[in-house]
Structure 1
């Protein structure tokens, strides 16, 4: 029942500001450690090897930390750590904030969505703002909720912490920039591997709670995405809401001509579509909670 209680705790409390304004969030501590590794070891001629060794060391440290925490008597500490590293309520709040801001004005919507996406937002129109928020909702549902749940179910706190340190490393040094192309290679590849099953599981769960698309539509459109994993939840969300996602966008002033996912879907998106995506987030969470509860009961009976 650890997983069930942790999911409920996260959904109720989310990321309480009074707590994280006084103490550093575990994800922040991970980020600081990875930043130190980047500054210290991302140099020399064998950056790829150094990056591999750095990631191995980080994963060992994370796994051992999880194992030590699990030695504590009872399940309370496990519940708290897992709840802290889940992101359902904070994800919903960030996505809903974009929808609320977009209702006020396009400028408010642009400023709000800039907080959750890495693309250029200054010239976005209303559909682009809404599309960006919904894409972030789908991708982060996989990265921030389903994947942590999956790896905790598979390998407990060690598995969860190994996933989180890898995912954080990928977000910081996994980009294919001249600085990180070699040093961050291992983080990017290992993150892709760890998200292989959760991303497809997320797509399955979204399909289950929307029931609009035929599974073949998701299978067809998911590979259109530039990411080997993000395309799955985004394709499921696009077909589930009957909207077009992905498509051309700008990074650092350069237009990237990405194809649309579910290109025949509605493209004139607005804040109402963001509201519908938030409903899908909660339905997917509830489905995951129900499956976790059923698995816990079945385990006890067996």
Structure 2
């Protein structure tokens, strides 16, 4: 019998606040009142020192001496901090994620303060891993994903969907149910036609409106999986939750496959399929929609 963890937005911190500090976090237990979180100005100053010519998306800023990393930029929102907070709150010691210490806003960007996870990414170590090492990582990931799917809610979104493949698309949520999301997803590629409702969509029937809505990372790229330097390696943390949210249950698999070339070992030799349920028909539909709407 499956046991699901359910919660509502009312159970979360208020993401509309411009500033939030979690004084009960390990950061303040370690530093007490002697070292407040760096101000946005301090973060920007260190960002310029480490990256004098920043891109549109600034790199996260590390404060190694504080075991702290700060994300900021035009794509960053408090929703990522809420995701991290919710995973640690409702799935304690089950899904390894950085601890979030708080957030701030300088009028230009949101700044999220979180635990610095020390370790190589799966991508960095991948070429040196043997078959048994990859098995160990995927066993950890399978357990982590099954636990993450224990988080459920009834609606597809309480706000805009943040997946980058939908950047620039009109009205990206919220959606009251999975059918309304699927209808919107199907409409995107037909919307420029004078009569989009008269254009048949052969893929829409593959999108099941009675499927579960699950909490989804939405960017399980190997760069976002931090592992130990040992052999066999273990998963230390899943990072980069800025696209995370509530999606149909197939979305995680489609995005994970999308993040890697079909010729690469991680995909071609079935490693993704070993920790996420394969969706061969849905991946065809998803790829069609993604190709038709463009985007990230």
* Fold equivalence (TM over 0.5): no
Which is richer in strand?
A: 2
Which is richer in helix?
A: 1
| TM-score scaled by length of structure 1 | 0.29
